Amino acid sequence: MSNRWGTGRIESFSDGVFAIALTLLVFDLAVPASAFDNLWRGIAHEWPSYLAYLTSFITIGGLWMAHLGIFRRLQSANATIMRLNLLVLMGVAFLPFPTGLMAKAIRDPGAERAAVVFYGVTLLVISILLRVLWDAIVQHPELLDPSVSAHEVKPIRRASLPNIGFYVAAIALALLLPQAAVFGYLAIAIAAVWRARGDKSPQPEQAQVA
């Protein structure tokens, strides 16, 4: 029982960070007073903000579901998991910054490429951190819930975690077509929410079925 934490407060603290990061995104939505003459057009004109909002909201939602999927298999945490979890949360809490930047830079030919790549790299780093977190757990099977059997670990990994390859491809796309890449990020986020599964024992053949 040495060097272990119960997972209760880790989960509630993490839930707090996910929920706050998600809710703070709304601060990037605004219609300038100068657009009040034709407010419907002013609202419509802010579409890059809504796209960035939607993408980040669903991304954080999917990350929370992946986090939930990881921690429900966990019985206790060691120091490494605490630190990696803190890094994952730092990425999530940081996300409103590149989100706001991307929302403002879309339609600015000189800035949108950099903003969309920067946003994608942030998502890539979070995905890698989440995967490292899961791998660190797998290396210590004594931390896992006894109901998780060894041959389930790999399908859980494949079914639960964000796909790093997709993010690399979307970032590459961002160098050519920044606006298309944003829809790519959105598609990855929707797929992550779609693929997240709650069962403790997914069978490989079921893992792709919603």
- With contacts defined by CB under 8 A, name the span among 52-60, 123-131, 149-157, 171-179 that binds a second copy: 52-60
| Tokens found for residue 143 | 């931390």
Tell me: does residue 18 bind a second copy (CB under 8 A). yes
Rounded alpha-carbon distances, angstroms, from residue 33 to 30, 38, 39, 102:
9, 10, 9, 22
- With contacts defined by CB under 8 A, name the span among 64-72, 124-132, 170-178, 179-187 that binds a second copy: 64-72
- With contacts defined by CB under 8 A, name the span among 68-76, 123-131, 165-173, 177-185 that binds a second copy: 68-76
Shortest reach from residue 53's CB to a second copy, in Å:
8
For every residue of the chain, DSSP letters joined together read -TT-B-SHHHHHHHHHHHHHHHHHGGGG----GGGGGGHHHHHHHTHHHHHHHHHHHHHHHHHHHHHHHHHTTBS-B-HHHHHHHHHHHHHHHHTHHHHHHHHHHTT-TTTHHHHHHHHHHHHHHHHHHHHHHHHHHHT-GGGB-TTS-GGGHHHHHHHHS--HHHHHHHHHHHHH-HHHHHHHHHHHHHHHHHH----SS--TTTTT--
Tell me: does residue 5 bind a second copy (CB under 8 A). yes
- With contacts defined by CB under 8 A, name the span among 123-131, 164-172, 174-182, 201-209 that binds a second copy: 201-209
Tell me: does residue 82 bind a second copy (CB under 8 A). yes
Tell me: does residue 47 bind a second copy (CB under 8 A). no
Shortest reach from residue 180's CB to a second copy, in Å:
19
Tell me: does residue 63 bind a second copy (CB under 8 A). no
Of 51, 66, 74, 114, which one interacts with a second copy (CB under 8 A)? 114
Of 105, 106, 124, 174, which one interacts with a second copy (CB under 8 A)? 105
Tell me: does residue 146 bind a second copy (CB under 8 A). no
# residues near a second copy by CB under 8 A: 76
Tell me: does residue 194 bind a second copy (CB under 8 A). yes
